[in-house]
Amino acid sequence: MPGSGRHRWEPTKPLPLLAIVVLVFIFVDFVVSWLMTLTIDRWARQFPTPGHWYQLHMMGSRTYYLSPSVGWYLDNELWIYFGAFVLFFVISFLYGVRWKRVR
Q: Cα dist. 5→10, 72, 74, 101 in Å?
A: 16, 41, 37, 11
State the average pLDDT for the chain. Answer: 90
3-state helix, strand, coil in the chain (%, to 5): 50, 20, 30
> How many whole angstroms separate alpha carbon 51 and alpha carbon 26?
29
> How many whole angstroms separate alpha carbon 50 and alpha carbon 81?
30
**Which pLDDT belongs to residue 86?**
96
Instruction: Give the lowest-confidence range in 1-5, 27-31, 66-70, 96-100.
Output: 1-5
> How many whole angstroms separate alpha carbon 103 and alpha carbon 14?
19
**Which pLDDT belongs to residue 85?**
95
Mean pLDDT, residues 9-21 taken together: 91
CA dihedral angle for residue 60, residue 71, residue 48, residue 38, rounded to 10 degrees: 40
> How many whole angstroms separate alpha carbon 85 and alpha carbon 25?
9
Q: Domain segments of the chain: what residues?
A: 13-96
